[in-house]
């Protein structure tokens, strides 16, 4: 619960909405071949950030289509995508190690309304495996 000092009232913060993700990435670490992971040279990308990169940059979705697929607002996708692109840029420009883990997501079972049966999980026959 947040406290709004200006008004002297307690305010309930809005709960974060889970983002639909078709499947987890098969590779979760990227970076220079000779680098070791430590806090100084690594950056963490969440699974939902990875999903926006996959849908928009690889699959060619618009941000609106990506939002529908992930079952969130377009403005939410815009923010997630912007953060993800910054992290990819750090990897390429500064040579940091990128790890993909965590985030506010739920795995799609391939039959969700937003999925329409077209998600990668369903296309590749992964079914309901978690």
Decide if pLDDT at 127 tops 60. Answer: no
Report the chain's mean pLDDT, rounded to a whole number: 82
d(CA 110, CA 39): 36
pTM: 0.76
Across 13-22, 43-52, 106-115, 116-125, the highest mean pLDDT is recorded for: 43-52
Which residue is it, tokens 């950056």?
43
HEC per residue, 86-127: HHHHHHHHHCCEEEECCCCEEECCCCCCCCCCCCHHHHCCCC
Which residue is it, tokens 């999903």?
51
Decide if pLDDT at 1 tops 50. Answer: no
Q: What is the pLDDT of residue 117?
A: 58
């Amino acid at each position: 619960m947040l406290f709004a000092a200006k008004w002297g009232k307690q305010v309930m913060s809005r709960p974060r909405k889970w983002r639909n993700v078709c499947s987890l990435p098969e590779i979760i670490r990227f970076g220079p071949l000779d680098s070791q992971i430590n806090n100084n040279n690594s950056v963490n990308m969440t699974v939902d950030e990875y999903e926006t990169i996959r849908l928009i940059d690889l699959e060619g979705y618009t941000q609106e289509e990506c939002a529908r697929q992930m079952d969130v607002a377009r403005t939410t996708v815009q923010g997630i995508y912007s953060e993800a692109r910054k992290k990819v840029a750090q990897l390429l420009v500064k040579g940091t190690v990128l790890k993909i883990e965590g985030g506010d997501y739920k795995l799609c079972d391939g039959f969700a309304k937003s999925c329409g049966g077209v998600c990668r999980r369903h296309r590749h026959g992964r079914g309901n495996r978690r």
